[in-house]
Chain A
Amino acid sequence: MLESKQLAAQRGTTTLFSGIDFKLAPGDALLVTGANGSGKTTLLRTSAGLSHAAQGTLSWRGVPVAPFDPDLRAAVTYIGHAAALKDELTAEENLASLASLHDGGAASDAIGAALALWSLERQRALPARALSMGQRRRIGLARLALVSRPLWILDEPAAALDTAGVALLCDMIGMHLARGGMAIIATHQDIALSGPSVRGLSLT
């Protein structure tokens, strides 16, 4: 459903990568690996429709899409390096705000449940500045439980997470794929996903 043909990206005059082809059908996952600076983030941003590709085409459901295409936007949850959290808002307010940006609003018990899933129950009323990197990352990932989209594009989601967090993340991704979702995940560490529908793409 998401297909890329000969995707290439440049930063200034340096070519980051070129000739990238991949095809994601429901249930497929793409694990993108590569050294620092190899263009993993750029590839993910291009797939989410945030960046222009220097060459090549990206198609969603068979239709070529330009950046910020509405259909692609409606189908993607993109979680990048920056967590989009505001220091002055509490964990609960941050999650509610981000969720309503993408889905029109979630009831407060759904928010509570999502926070509880990620073990942030006791921190829900704390401002984000009081939370650790790992906890901030958990709030960002909690959005996955609230906003339902077919395509997840996650940039190093396991960074700063402890073992329990990584395990929960893998479970959630696994369930998402089982329900017919797709995922593109950039990762340094090994995310324990396996199966015939999980493919690797190395950018070095």
Chain B
Amino acid sequence: MTAVEAEAQAPSPPGAWHGVAWAMRRDLRLALRSKAELGVQLLFYVMVVALVPLGVGPDPALLRALGPGVLWIAALLASLLALPRLFAMDFADGTLEQMALSPYPLPALISGKIAAHWLATGLPLVAASPLLGLQFGLGRDELTVLALGLLLGTPTLSLMGAVGAALTLGLRNGALLALLVLPLYVPVLIFGAGAVDTVRTGLGATAELSLLAAALMASLVGATLAAAAAVRMALD
């Protein structure tokens, strides 16, 4: 055995969690350093939500009926807005190649990236939603279920969106990503907005929230694997 091989065998086998931690640490540090980009999704969310009363009129009953749907759809659109940046920079500067060649499993690295991405773009939406919900006259129970639903749903949106972002890496067409990903968003939208409607009628929303939680679990596994496969295809 040559000297170089002896050295190379020294490190221990890499754990997936270390990969997640590596990606999260790096991406969060980058997000904090380029602060200008951080608030954009939140601002977009607030503005889109404010546009709705301007479009349909300020009738409180109408706004109350529309509220859950509007808040969820705006969250969907804000999530879509942030997606292209998930992989584009790393693809352009060669980091994605190095990640694909790393001993850490690529799905683990990607899930770390998505986690950091969600913390920077999705979590602010969850925090802002109760305030915006007040503008639509939603009650306390409704606001709680709205926020909980978004808390469970926005990571799922980021995960499924990541698959679309990976498939469209390097392509110039921005609207294509929306076309690919929006059909996949439909169940999350239905159960998230539906949860608030259910609570409004006096029933509990446990069923819907459990389904959202299940979707999150399933995407954590399925979407990261699919995104890793798509990234490898893009690097080929």
Physical contact A–B (CB less than 8 Å): yes
Q: In chain A between 14 and 72, which residues have their CB closer than 8 angstroms to a CB of chain B?
A: 26-27, 48-52, 67-68, 70
Confirm or deny: A102 has a beta carbon within 8 angstroms of a beta carbon on chain B.
yes
Contacts of A180 in B (CB 8 A): 2-5
Q: Determine whether the beta carbon of A148 is less than 8 Å from that of B93.
A: no
Can you list 17 A-B contacts (CB < 8 A)? A49-B101, A50-B97, A50-B100, A68-B100, A70-B103, A74-B103, A75-B8, A78-B98, A82-B94, A83-B94, A86-B93, A88-B29, A101-B104, A102-B102, A103-B11, A148-B4, A149-B8
Confirm or deny: A176 has a beta carbon within 8 angstroms of a beta carbon on chain B.
yes
Instruction: Give residues in A with beta carbon < 8 Å to B.
Output: 26-27, 48-52, 67-68, 70, 73-76, 78, 80-86, 88-89, 93, 97-98, 100-104, 148-150, 176, 179-181
Q: Determine whether the beta carbon of B2 is less than 8 Å from that of A150.
A: yes
In the bound assembly, the distance between CA atoms of A83 and B102 in angstroms comes to 15
Known: A88-B30, A104-B18. A67 touches B232 (CB 8 A): yes
Confirm or deny: B34 has a beta carbon within 8 angstroms of a beta carbon on chain A.
yes
Q: Which of B5, B101, B106, B235 has the most CB of A within 10 A?
A: B101
**Nearest A residue (CB) for B95:** A84
Interface of A is mostly: loop
Q: Determine whether the beta carbon of B94 is less than 8 Å from that of A81.
A: yes
Confirm or deny: B59 has a beta carbon within 8 angstroms of a beta carbon on chain A.
no
Contact of B7 (CB < 8 Å), options: A102, A104, A148? A148
Q: Determine whether the beta carbon of A150 is less than 8 Å from that of B101.
A: no
Q: Determine whether the beta carbon of A80 is less than 8 Å from that of B93.
A: no
Beyond A51-B235, A84-B98, A149-B8, list 18 extra A-B contacts (CB 8 Å).
Answer: A26-B4, A68-B106, A80-B94, A80-B97, A81-B94, A82-B94, A84-B97, A86-B26, A88-B34, A97-B22, A100-B22, A101-B99, A101-B104, A104-B14, A148-B7, A150-B5, A180-B4, A180-B5
